[in-house]
Amino acid sequence: MSDTATAGIEREDLRLLRESATAFAQKHLNPGRLRRLRDEGREFDREIWTQFAELGWTGLMISEDAGGFGMGLEAAAAVLEPLGQQLMPEPLIAGALLPGDVLSRCPAGALRDRLLGDIASGKLIAALAWQSGLDPFASGPATVTASKTSAGETLRGKALYVMPGRGADGYIVAAAKEDGQALYWIDASAKGLTVAARQRPDGGSVADLTFDVSLGTDACLAPPDQGAAIVAASVDIAAILASAELLGAIRGAFGITIDYLKTRKQFDRTIGSFQALQHRAADLYLKQRVAAASLAGALRELEQAQSSEARMRAASRVKIRCSDVAYQVGREAIQLHGGIGYTDEHDIGLYMKRAIVLGAWLGNSAQHLRRLDRLNRQGNPVEARS
Amino acid sequence: MKDWNAMSDEDFRQEVREFFAKHYPEHLRYPPHRLHWNEIGDWYLTLSKHGWIAPAWPVEHGGMGLDPGKLLIFIEEQETHGVARTPDQGIVMVGPLLIQQGNDEQKKRFLPKILSGEHVWCQGYSEPNSGSDLASLRTEAVLDGDDFVVNGQKTWSTLAQDGTHMFLLVRTDKTVRKQEGISFLLVDMKTPGITVRPMKILDGHEHFCEVFFDNVRVPRVNMVGELNKGWSVAKALLSFERLFIGSPKTAQSALTHLEQLARLTGAMEDATFRTRLMRFQLDVADLNALYREFSEQVRRGEKLGADISILKIFSSETYARIADFIVETGGSGALSDGPSLIGNEQAEVVSAFYASVPTTIYGGTNEIQRNIIATGVLGLPSS
């Protein structure tokens, strides 16, 4: 797979994908379902996951040779936006698209090929365990290490903020070695693996993993000279996908709020007729349109990206924008709802919580800004982009 | 005729960059305020001679026919090089309007002279008592034989003292709903009865004019569209105007100004400054992307909707925020109303503020734009 992880796709195909995702989301997903799954302690639904796979979504970016559809990033973004708008609880990015992208960049091999096929078929939900601290881009001491033993290798240490926290069948683990960072596959049932899962604000889960695991020689997915670059590239791609899901959440929160302004009456008037609120609604609309333009711009940039630096810039640009707008729109939407917006029974708060989670995942806007600053300081000033 | 759109983006960028470097007068780079015809007219004629004066017009009418991506590159290079804005209302307003709504005779008469620089256009919309409520305008035109006779007063006419022609909204029926009694006229500024009085603005320059009409005779053939249908002509023009003033041009030029100032002051060493600068760079990048969406709509031949107002808001407010940051970054340099000595060079500080102030007011204030979005796009009830 190329560094840009995009494949040429026709406008018409994109439109059809978007339409089918919209129809599916309207029929099967909604904020109430997320709340119910959360309250039942189930988090997400494996049957719906199977349907995702049947629709081709779990393998959307996986090549056809490996059992997927090879349709690229733009297609995945087109599907994620309507799913995000209905607050899909299923971890489509974390459990399929991100690990699929990582595996696609790993050298071919029996293990890799099996995992890719199983992700595409929906049989396998995988997770990437790569973070060692609060800032995914800060270079700190490695917290997971791999060392040679007579029978193979041993993995020791702790990986933080792994998603999905519950429900993953196995993990791609980034581990430090003397000569770099290698990637390994560990089954969820592996001896010596502890998963400490916590509930996220949006009803999903995040986990810290502790390893003291012995591995056979066949568990290595990428050698130490490749692992770090693979993870960095895939995390950028996933950040763009998360931006598309955020854009959906922005649209959802905005739509609910405009509906509320049109129906809620106080002082014998529809509150949406008050100019003070109209101007705030106009500003939310503007932010939503800017976020959408930013995503389109980042996808165009990535299509032309020739370097890992261009890829980083495209990812940071849109992740900063969509994270910030989703947070701002969520907070303002609650305010425009008044007291009812602060209750768990109203959907608007669920949108805000999703904005917090997706905003913080894969680098929040401040962390992406610091990364951009480091790129600029390396002597590559930002060019204006479209 | 060269097919610009067939070039690669990089080749096109290179060619535009070289063109500006070769032809644009060095002493006119990064002007702190809007230039008059006697200062910038030669540049207009240079662009005209090379066929570069109308980048967005279709090729069959004498433009470069640039697609939105190429047009954005053109704008970026122009602003990075510090190329001044020309008296361009013929290019960005009248031309596109006549191409869309003018009759063949009007197109033949006016378009070539806009391209050649023989005609320089100015606008006659606002009146002292008709600002945001433009449709209440009272400058009157009464038919007398083959002519209209115009009486009244227009204001905020940008660079009207340099204009050879004005496009003008007039009241032609006082008995109907205010929007239904307006017509759209093209007027030669040499016609007897027209008085132009320049007005000083905040930066001390004469940027706007008041224009008085005293029994001014305008041939009926100079009317665009039908009698009393001028409001819809004006509205079509307003969406061109919002697209034009929504272009990333001004924000881009302010960003260049800010970056130059930062290099002189050493502000780039400050992490807080860099963070704020990056946010503005991202805003301008996303403004580019938003502008592109609307430009592509125009290029596909679709009518612009009421949502074009967000572009005007985002563009002008991004510009104003960058201008405010320039004033802050300039520190004591803001004590000078002209250039200050910063580092070893002369640099302007307050000029960015002056230039940005009218952008949130003209073309419909940003408050009016928000009203339009609320009722015209979001369907909220009128207040």
Give one word for B30, left, alpha or beta, with left for phi > 0 and alpha for psi -120 to 50.
left
Q: Which residue of B has its CA nearest to A280?
A: B370
- Which stretches in chain A have pLDDT values below 70? 1-9, 379-386
Residues of A near B (Cβ–Cβ under 8 Å) read 258, 261-262, 270, 272-275, 278-279, 281-283, 285-286, 289-290, 293-294, 296-297, 300, 317, 320-321, 369, 372-373, 376, 382, 384-386
> Which residues on A lie below 8 Å from B271 (Cβ)?
373
Q: Which residue of B has its CA nearest to A382?
A: B281
Long-range contacts of B336-343 (CB under 8 A, 24+ apart): B337/B203, B337/B204, B338/B32, B339/B32, B342/B261, B342/B264, B342/B265, B343/B264, B343/B265, B343/B266
pLDDT, residue B150, reads: 98
Q: C-alpha distances in angstroms, B235 versus B172, B183, B229, B239, B362?
A: 17, 12, 10, 6, 15
> Which residues on A lie below 8 Å from B279 (Cβ)?
369
The number of beta carbons lying within 10 Å of the beta carbon of residue A259 is 11
Q: Are A330 and A350 a contacting pair, CB within 8 Å? A: no
Q: A356: distance to nearest CA of chain B, Å?
A: 20
Q: What whole-number distance in Å separates Cα of residue B363 and Cα of residue A20?
A: 41
pLDDT, residue B236, reads: 80
Residues of B near A (Cβ–Cβ under 8 Å) read 69, 72, 76, 80, 248, 252, 255, 271, 274-275, 278-279, 281-282, 284-290, 292-293, 307, 310, 313-314, 367, 369-371, 373-375, 377-383
Query: Parallel, antiparallel, or unpaired: how do β-strands A170-177 and A126-129 relate?
Result: parallel
User: Where does the pLDDT of residue B33 fall: very low under 50, low under 70, confident under 90, or very high at 90 and above?
Assistant: confident
Distance of CA A105 to the CA centre of its chain: 18
Model pLDDT for residues B315-340, shown as the tens digit of each residue? 999 999 999 999 999 999 999 998 99
Model pLDDT for residues A95-125, shown as the tens digit of each residue? 999 999 999 999 999 999 999 999 999 999 9
Q: What is the ipTM of this complex?
A: 0.93
B383–A278 CB contact, under 8 Å:
yes
User: Where does the pLDDT of residue B47 fall: very low under 50, low under 70, confident under 90, or very high at 90 and above?
Assistant: very high
Average pLDDT over residues B237-247: 81
Q: What whole-number distance in Å separates Cα of residue B128 and Cα of residue B277?
A: 39
Burial B87-115, CB ≥16 within 10 A → b, else e: bbbbbbbbbbbbeebbeeebeebbbeebb
Q: What residues form DSSP beta bridges with B157?
A: B209
Q: Are B140 and B212 a contacting pair, CB within 8 Å? A: no
Q: What whole-number distance in Å separates Cα of residue B34 and Cα of residue B355?
A: 8
Query: Residue B233 contacts by C-beta under 8 Å, 6 or more apart in sequence?
Result: B97, B101, B184, B224, B225
Average pLDDT over residues B330-353: 92
Model pLDDT for residues B102-125, shown as the tens digit of each residue? 999 999 999 999 999 999 999 999
Closest Cα to residue B342, out of B323, B326, B321? B326
Q: Are A128 and A231 a contacting pair, CB within 8 Å? A: yes
Closest Cα to residue A299, out of B72, B289, B249? B289
Burial (CB count within 10 angstroms: exposed 0-12, middle 13-18, buried 19+), residue A270: middle
Phi, psi of B141 (to 5 degrees): -130, 125
A373–B275 CB contact, under 8 Å:
yes
Q: C-alpha distances in angstroms, B303 versus B89, B289, B298, B300?
A: 20, 19, 7, 9
* Nearest-CB residue to B274 (from A296, A373, A386): A373
Residue B366 has pLDDT above 90, yes or no: yes
Q: What whole-number distance in Å separates Cα of residue A167 and Cα of residue A127?
A: 9
Q: C-alpha distances in angstroms, A257 versus A203, A329, B190?
A: 22, 10, 55
Residue B227 has pLDDT above 80, yes or no: yes
Query: Residue A103 contacts by C-beta under 8 Å, 6 or more apart in sequence?
Result: A62, A112, A115, A116, A119, A126, A172, A221
Residue B349 has pLDDT above 50, yes or no: yes
pLDDT, residue A379, reads: 66
DSSP element (H, E) containing B95: helix B95-101
Q: Is B213 helix (H, G, I), strand (E, B) or coil?
A: strand
Q: What whole-number distance in Å separates Cα of residue B196 and Cα of residue B346?
A: 35
Q: What whole-number distance in Å separates Cα of residue A226 and Cα of residue A232?
A: 10
> Which residues on B lie below 8 Å from A296 (Cβ)?
289, 293
Q: B289: distance to nearest CA of chain A, Å?
A: 5
Respond yes or no: is residue B259 known to be catalytic: no
> Which residues on B lie below 8 Å from A369 (Cβ)?
275, 278-279
Q: Find out whether the peptide bond into A107 is cis, omega within 30 degrees of 0.
A: no
DSSP element (H, E) containing B101: helix B95-101
DSSP A103-155: HHHSPP-HHHHHHHHHHHHTS--EEEE-B-SS-TTS----SEEEEE-SSSEEE
Secondary structure in 3-state letters for B165-199: EEEEEEECCCCCCHHHHEEEEEEECCCCCEEEEEE
Q: Are A263 and B381 a contacting pair, CB within 8 Å? A: no
Q: C-alpha distances in angstroms, B280 versus A250, A296, B317, B318?
A: 22, 19, 11, 8
The residue assigned the tokens 């066949």 is A218
Average pLDDT over residues B354-377: 95
A384–B76 CB contact, under 8 Å:
yes
Query: Residue B75 contacts by C-beta under 8 Å, 6 or more apart in sequence?
Result: B247, B248, B249, B252
User: What is the average pLDDT score of chain B?
Assistant: 94
Q: What whole-number distance in Å separates Cα of residue B383 and Cα of residue B326?
A: 38
B286–A290 CB contact, under 8 Å:
yes
> Which residues on B lie below 8 Å from A321 (Cβ)?
282, 286
Residue B20 has pLDDT above 80, yes or no: yes
User: What is the average pLDDT score of chain A?
Assistant: 94
pLDDT, residue A385, reads: 46
